[in-house]
Amino acid sequence: MSEATLSSHRIRIKLQVTNGYFVQFDQLAQLLGATCRDERPRIPQDDLANAVGVAGRKIENLASIAQALGLIAPVTYKPTPLGEVIAAQDPFLDDIGTLWLMHYIAASEPRFLVWNRFVNEFLPARGHFSYADLRGSFDDLKESHSTYTAKKHVTQEVKVLLDAYTEQALSRLAYLRADGDNFRLSYREPLPPLVLAACLARFRDRHRAGATALSIDELLTAPNSPGRICLIPADRLRSSLETLRAQSGFALESRADLDQVRLTDSTSDHQWMERYYASR
């Protein structure tokens, strides 16, 4: 049983983040902008639907995707601190750094089982695959879910995810490309160093609570790590970390044959993204 499946016994997993709707970033940008303009502590779903110009069912699913990408909070539909920064600096959600961070946030969350396992386990193990290969990798879910759920919901989510990385805005990452009826890993646009730092902060806060030091080996290969989720080659990761040496709150150390990154303060992912946007 996979690590993601094991995690499902400890957390409430969500097989469908998208509920079968394509990840359309123009509508997500409209949604985020509407939440930032609304000063109420909780935004009614119908008001958001009117602001974006979609039906109530569609706004529910857009909100689900926006939550998975770290842009808005559940229940209240208010923007997260990260969502506020992105709305102010990249209102169309088309900056390569924004796209990389949203990819990392959604794919590194074990609760989103299909997305997490697809990026965290399936892709690193192969460079070329068919839709049937990917769909078959979730057959074990029949042990924990009804046949209907395991087949229909997972099938829908897989199709949407492949579309997100090959047809929608995430295709700009050059992370995955269609190859006839199959798919293969692509060359991948470089992850900007300051966005890598935002991913490191997210990894620390979500998966290494309380840690101030992270070994470079675990940043490359550990489940849900930036290196694994973004498929960063070791030489490129080390080069980016060297670039970050000049940043406050960041240090590189070598102790007892252990190369590690030390995050010396509580700078969060949205604060690192503020630095990134300011540096462009």
Out of 8-12, 25-29, 100-104, 225-229, which region has the weakest mean confidence (pLDDT)? 8-12
Poorest-pLDDT segment among 23-32, 86-95, 147-156: 147-156
Tell me the C-alpha distance between 95 and 250, whole Å.
24
Look at residue 143 and give its three-state secondary structure.
helix
Domain residue spans of the chain: 1-189, 193-279
> What is the pLDDT, as a whole number, of residue 175?
97
Residue 196 and residue 59 in contact, taking contact as beta carbons nearer than 8 Å: no
* Distance of alpha carbon 20 from alpha carbon 11, whole angstroms: 22
Tokens of 80: 């997260």
Average of per-residue pLDDT across 249-261: 87
CA distance 17 to 22: 11
- Looking at 3.40.50.300, 1.10.10.10, 1.10.1060.10, 1.10.10.200, the CATH number of the domain 193-279 comes to 1.10.10.10
Closest of 208, 191, 234 to residue 104, by C-alpha = 191
Model confidence at 7: pLDDT above 60 = no
d(CA 258, CA 107): 28
Cβ atoms 216, 259 nearer than 8 A? yes
Q: What residues does 215 pair with on adjacent strands?
A: 260
Q: How far apart are CA 171 and CA 132, in angstroms?
A: 21
Kindly state the DSSP code that residue 10 receives in the 8-state scheme: T
| Whole-prediction pTM | 0.93
Q: How far apart are CA 22 and CA 32, in angstroms?
A: 17
* pLDDT for 243 beyond 80: yes
**Proportion of the chain above pLDDT 90, given as a percent:** 82
Show Cβ contacts of residue 148 under 8 Å, excluding neighbours closer than 6 positions.
none
63 with 79: CB under 8 angstroms? no
Instruction: Name the 3-class secondary structure at 260.
Output: strand
The SS3 assignment for 134 reads: helix
DSSP reduced 3-state for 231: coil
Q: How far apart, in whole angstroms, are the C-alpha atoms of residue 34 and residue 47? A: 9
pLDDT of residue 11: 59
Tell me what the mean pLDDT of segment 105-134 comes to: 94
> For residue 87, what are the CA distances in angstroms to 22, 35, 50?
21, 10, 19
